[in-house]
Structures are given as C-alpha cells and as structure tokens.
C-alpha cells in the first residue's frame, strides 16, 4: 500500500473548486431513468449516453473525478478509446462503483444491506491495473416507523469499513457513502439524529478496520427533511444542520466530504452546497464538495433523449450544472447563474 499516493489522490479529488461526477448508475437504475424518458434500454444506448458525458468539452474545469459502472469500464467510445483512457485523457481521475447493490436485510423488514465483499480484493486489483484510482460503495439507511435499527446501521457500517480497508490495500481511495434516504415524511431533526448516529458508527468501524482517514473521501447525504415532510426548510437551515452534524461526527483528518444529491432538484443541491460554503468554508477542517449523479446529469439526460442530434445541447446542460456546483464550492453560486 502506497500511503502517500492514496493521500495525494484523495486530496486531488476534493482540491480547489472541483468535485466528483457520479455516472455509475447500475444497469437497472440507468434503465429506469431511460425508461421514464422513452429512451431504449440497451448496452449500446447506455454506452452512447456515457460517451456524451465524458466527451463534454471543458468538463475537467469543474470535475476532478468520475465514478463509472463496471459495464462502462468494458466499453469504448465510437473511436475505439476505452472509457477509462478517455477520462484520463480528459484530465479527470477515473473511479468505479464496486458494491453489488443493496438487498433486503434478513430479519429487518424495510431495511437493506449492501453486498459485494466476496471476491472484492481481486476485482479491486484488476481495476487498479486499468488505471482506476478510487472506488465507491453505497449503503442505504431508510427512516421510518421503528427504523433504522442498530442492526442495520452496524451491518452497513461494518461492510463499508471492510470495503474501505480493502480499497486502500489495493491502492484505491475509498469513497465511503452511507446514504440516509430522503424518502418519507420525517423531519430535518429526525434526519439529523439518524445521520449523526450513522456517521459515528461508520467512523468507529473505519477505525476498527484500520482505514487511514487521510486517504478516503466521505460521501454523505445532506441533512434534510423527508421529501413529503410538511415542514420544508431554507437552504441556510439545511446548511446549518448539515455542517453541525458533520462537525460532530467526521474527524478532521478526512480531507473532503463530497455530498450525494439523493433526489433533490439540481438547483436546490447547488444552492444548499453553496449555503454551506458561504457560511462555514473558512472554518472547516475538510473541503465541502459534491459527488452528484442526478443533480448534474438529469437536465442533460432530458435534453439528450437518446438522440445523436441532441448531444451538443445536452453537453451544454451538463457543463452548466458542473459549473454551478463549482461555484457552489466557492460560495459563489447564485440563482442568476440558472438564467444565463
């Protein structure tokens, strides 16, 4: 394990004003988003979609790393360039989603456990050989009647820590993603409580498994009221609650926190990240960055519609969202940017 390389890669991923682009939807998830827009759900169309994304001019101005799905790693651009090489050529660090998805957790109705530890070391070593330098694992925690349980939180935290330790051993920076879901009618305060407990448990497990905090990235949810909670709150309230929660639970040795968007609108995700950086940036031990999938890609996907003729317009939309989030990292995002 080359500790210095891990530390360097982790720092680059969250340096300056850049962030990560999550383009690692599993085939079922990608197909679901295609189906909603009437786009054919085939490997070829998924490949064309990912080519539209990675060939967006100037993407590396605001994107430091791109997270891929295994299918994409095995595909090439139309000119025959493998995706990993195309991303490296574009000045972006390639990463990979390595979990095998969230499955029902036995004995815990309504809760899930993320699978994928079996054989993981071999897969990580192969990914490293292809040029991949970081990896992501997503655990999901739902809030509801009597959930999350300690059983679910501990099982997922343990798996995250074992994955993270394996990543570091194989030279890959782990992007540790414990996602407290937005679904439901829970309040901001309930989300705060659950997120705090989840993060404490995750960092406890990371410590037990000997994960080097300087060589990892945390990818958490923002602290938000549930999607159907009647009491929605301002971006400033989200910023205050999220930063308060993170300050309590995330050690200062972690170089950066890159949020998932989790189903927020693109504009809200940018505005909330911006509010955090406006209010707290100069006083935080870690960088506050983004690792959005939907909040960067969705407008571009809706324009693209699976049609070659729409590629340039879709790329403009993707570039714009990446730029908005770059501004949000600096606390310089404004609603005006959405009209320009």
Q: Considering the candidates 177, 179, 307, 308, report the single residue annotated as catalytic.
A: 177
Among 14, 295, 322, 327, binds ligand 13P (CB under 6 A): 295
Interface with ligand 13P, residue 163, by CB under 6 A: no
Interface with ligand 13P, residue 50, by CB under 6 A: no
Q: Considering the candidates 97, 136, 219, 323, report the single residue annotated as catalytic.
A: 219
Interface with ligand 13P, residue 261, by CB under 6 A: yes
Shortest distance, position 46 Cβ to ligand 13P, whole Å: 16
Task: Give the range of 34-42, 286-294, 316-324, 332-340 binding ligand 13P by CB under 6 A.
Answer: 286-294
Among 18, 138, 158, 329, binds ligand 13P (CB under 6 A): 138
Whether the Cβ atoms of residue 198 and residue 148 lie closer than 8 Å to each other: yes
Among 53, 293, 300, 328, binds ligand 13P (CB under 6 A): 293
- Residue closer to ligand 13P by CB (options 13, 295) is 295
| 219 belongs to the catalytic site | yes
Among 292, 304, 319, 333, binds ligand 13P (CB under 6 A): 292
- Residue closer to ligand 13P by CB (options 148, 178) is 178
| 11 belongs to the catalytic site | no
Shortest distance, position 261 Cβ to ligand 13P, whole Å: 3
Q: Per-residue string for binding with ligand 13P, 16-45, x by CB under 6 A? A: ------x-----------------------
- Residue closer to ligand 13P by CB (options 273, 287) is 273
SS3 for the chain, per residue?
A: CCHHHHHHHHHHHCCCCCEEEECCCCHHHHHHHHHHCCCCCCHHHHHHHHHHHHCCCCHHHCEEEEEECHHHHCCECCCCCEHHHHHHHCCCEEEEECCCCEEECCCCCCCEEECCCCCHHHHHHHHHHHCCCEEEEEEEECCECCECCHHHHHHHHHHHHHHHHHHHHCCCEEEEEEEECCCCCCCHHHHHHHHHHHHHHHHHHHHHCCCCHHHCEECCCCCCCCCCCCCCCCHHHHHHHHHHHHHHHCCCCCCEEEECCCCCCHHHHHHHHHHHHHHHHHHCCCEEEEEECHHHHHHHHHHHCCCHHHHHHHHHHHHHHHHHHHHHHHCCCCHHHHCC
Residues annotated catalytic, as ranges: 177, 219
The contact set with ligand 13P (CB under 6 A) reads 22, 138, 177, 260-262, 292-295
């Amino acid at each position: 394990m080359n500790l210095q390389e891990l530390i360097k890669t982790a720092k680059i991923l969250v340096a300056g004003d850049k962030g990560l682009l999550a383009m690692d939807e599993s085939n079922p998830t990608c197909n679901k988003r295609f189906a909603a827009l009437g786009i054919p759900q085939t490997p070829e169309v998924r490949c064309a979609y990912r080519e539209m994304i990675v060939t967006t001019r100037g993407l590396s101005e605001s994107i430091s790393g791109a997270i891929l799905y295994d299918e994409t790693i095995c595909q090439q651009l139309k000119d025959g360039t493998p995706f990993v090489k195309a991303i490296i050529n574009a000045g972006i660090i390639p990463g990979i989603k390595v979990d095998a998805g969230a499955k029902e957790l036995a004995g815990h109705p309504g809760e899930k456990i993320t699978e994928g530890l079996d054989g993981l070391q071999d897969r990580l070593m192969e990914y490293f050989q292809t040029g991949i330098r970081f990896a992501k694992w997503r655990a999901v925690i739902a809030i509801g009647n009597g959930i999350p349980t300690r059983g679910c939180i501990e099982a997922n935290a343990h798996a995250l820590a074992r994955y993270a330790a394996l990543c570091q051993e194989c030279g890959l920076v782990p992007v540790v993603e414990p996602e407290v879901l937005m679904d439901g009618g829970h309040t901001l305060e309930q989300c705060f409580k659950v997120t705090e407990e989840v993060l404490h448990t995750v960092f406890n497990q990371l410590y037990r498994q000997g994960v080097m905090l300087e060589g990892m990235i945390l990818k958490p949810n923002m602290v938000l009221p549930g999607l159907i909670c009647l009491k929605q709150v301002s971006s400033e309230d989200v910023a205050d609650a999220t930063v308060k929660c993170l300050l309590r639970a995330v050690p200062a040795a972690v170089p950066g926190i890159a949020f998932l968007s989790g189903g927020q609108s693109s504009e809200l995700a940018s505005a909330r990240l911006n509010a955090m950086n406006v209010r707290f940036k100069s006083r935080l031990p870690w960088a506050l960055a983004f690792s959005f999938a939907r909040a960067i890609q969705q407008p571009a996907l809706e324009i693209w519609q699976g049609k070659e003729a729409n590629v340039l317009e879709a790329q403009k939309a993707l570039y714009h969202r990446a730029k908005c989030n770059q501004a949000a990292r600096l606390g310089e995002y404004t609603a005006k940017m959405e009209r320009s």
